[in-house]
Amino acid sequence: MSLSELQLWKRGVIMDNLTVEQALEALLAHSKMIEETEKVPVLQARGKVLAEDMVAELDNPPFDKSPIDGYACKAEDIADVSEERPAELKVLEEIDAGQYSNITVEKGQAVRIMTGAAVPKGCDCCVRQEDTDYGEDTVKIFHPTRQWQNYCYQGEDFKRGTVLLKKGTRIGFVEAGILASMGKTEANVYRRARVAILTTGDEVMAPGQKLLPGKIYDCNQNLLAARMEDFGVELVKLDSIEDRPQAMTKAIQDIAPSVDLIITTGSVSVGKKDIMHEALELAGAQRIFWHIQMKPGMPTLFSVYQDTPVISLSGNPFGVAVSVDLLIRPMLQKMMQDEALKTRRKKCVLKNEFVKEVRGRRYIRAVTDGESVTIPTGLHSNGVLATMAGCNCLIEMQGGKPGTKVGELAEVILL
């Protein structure tokens, strides 16, 4: 597609050359929340979002229990004991964890009890075995224990009817434990977003192949696939498409009905081999915008094909790394109703300088400890990924600045 043809096509376009905020607004406007739900085993629910409130159907613990190994008895029987004047109580029986006794303990009596065991009626405290003579038929208690000391009440963790996990909660290891403590084996969750990644570029080869002259290895596929796993999506397709508009058109048409989002990389500029414009036009896609006022990621192209959003990123690896968090992450947050994907920002103190002039909105790889932020040395070009190793944030720099200074506050986006 020639530059003049592109200009003609652009006349029917809604927006071009947007600010980051305008681009995000357009991306989110075309990102639909996923309302479909599914029942999944709790052990397979990690990273998914609850589609309903989880209400306790029982008290936990479901009985009064002992938090120690020792003896359960009445506090009044041992209120004034000492090493010199111990109380001697009759031991009725031993209750181990998992056992339940229907006896009622009277004055002058006790039961041997283990951690987690149900406390029988009549007892209002539990004595550490270290404060006794470890007796079996009778037990001497040398130290007083207050009423309700060393005693776990029924429902101490949670009460029946309590909403323990709200709709929209992302299930992690703690939530999985809470669900199990409620007796749940399944959880009703929103299905994950289904995503396809299509990379293009005749100059790239798959890792593992012998590298031919003039070729480079494709790092964008693995970068995107790994980040999609971080975000908890279902990666439906991961494919390399040859640099022909018709091939990309077919790939988009084939996969679109099966996914919620298509991500492509490469071929979004105006060169002879930049096929994405023509491929999307051949598919009959609606182009929403082209170009964002940011670096890296400026040539981003966004379209919609039969209700499926298609975001086409540049082929520069650092541009892909920035765009996946800055642009795609908010889309997935909305689709999956997952607050854990919300972009997190904070102000941090710069520990070193970035002397390059910033003409437009720019994003710089960096490392933060939560209070200060350091820009790594080495190349910062869009095609360089190696210097991003170990980085955990991006510094957002506004245009018109002659770089940064040590000690000034920087706007940091946490990755």
CATH (domain of 128): 2.170.190.11
* Structural domain includes residue 151: no
Record the tokens describing residue 4, joined without a space.
Answer: 């003049």
Domain count, the chain: 4
pLDDT given at position 14: 52
Strand partners, 401: 358
Distance CA 365, CA 231 (A): 20
Three-state secondary structure string covering the chain: CCHHHHHHHHCCCCCCCECHHHHHHHHHHCCCCCCCEEEEEHHHCCCCEECCCEECCCCECCCCECCCCEEEECHHHHCCCCCCCCEEEEEEEEECCCCCCCCECCCCEEEEECCCCECCECCCEEEEHHHECCCCCEEEECCCCCCCCCCECCCCCECCCCEEECCCCECCHHHHHHHHHCCCCEEEEECCCEEEEEEECCCEECCCCCCCCCCEECCHHHHHHHHHHHHCCEEEEEEEECCCHHHHHHHHHHHHHHCCEEEEECCCCCCCCCCHHHHHHHHCCEEEEECECCECCCCCEEEEECCEEEEEECCCHHHHHHHHHHHHHHHHHHHHCCHHHCCEEEEEEECCCCCCCECCCEEEEEEECCCEEECCCCCCCCCCCHHHCCCCEEEEECCCECCCCCCCEEEEEEC
222, 320 Cβ separation under 8 angstroms: no
pLDDT given at position 78: 98
- Please count the other Cβ atoms lying within 10 Å of the Cβ belonging to residue 242: 12
Q: Are residues 185 and 196 in the same domain?
A: no
Q: Are residues 267 and 409 in the same domain?
A: no
Distance CA 52, CA 46 (A): 16
Distance CA 187, CA 171 (A): 10
Instruction: State the pairing for strand pair 234-241/54-55.
Output: unpaired
Record the tokens describing residue 31, joined without a space.
Answer: 């990102």
58: Cβ contacts below 8 Å, ≥ 6 apart:
160, 182, 183
* Structural domain includes residue 301: yes
Q: Are residues 82 and 199 in the same domain?
A: no
293, 310, 341 - which closes a domain: 341
The parent domain of residue 44 ranges over 39-60+159-189
pLDDT tens digits in sequence order for the chain, 415 residues long: 344 444 444 444 457 899 999 999 999 999 999 999 999 999 999 999 999 999 999 999 999 999 999 999 999 999 999 999 999 999 999 999 999 999 999 999 999 999 999 999 999 999 999 999 999 999 999 999 999 999 999 999 999 999 999 999 999 999 999 999 999 999 999 999 999 999 998 788 889 999 889 888 889 999 999 999 999 999 999 999 999 999 999 999 999 999 999 999 998 987 666 899 999 999 999 999 999 999 999 999 999 999 999 999 999 999 999 999 999 999 999 999 999 999 999 999 999 988 776 677 899 999 999 999 999 988 888 888 999 999 999 999 987 777 778 999 999 999 9
* Structural domain includes residue 98: yes
Examine residue 309 and say whether the peptide bond preceding it is cis (omega within 30 degrees of 0): no
* Structural domain includes residue 152: no
* Structural domain includes residue 278: yes
* Structural domain includes residue 315: yes
* Structural domain includes residue 153: no
Q: Which of 337, 335, 358 is nearest to 411 (CA)?
A: 358
Distance CA 411, CA 345 (A): 7
pLDDT given at position 3: 42
Q: What is the CATH number of the domain that holds 17?
A: 3.40.980.10
Q: Are residues 199 and 299 in the same domain?
A: yes
Sign of CA dihedral 309, 315, 316, 317: positive
Indicate the pTM of the whole model. 0.85
Distance CA 186, CA 58 (A): 17
pLDDT given at position 204: 84
pLDDT given at position 24: 97
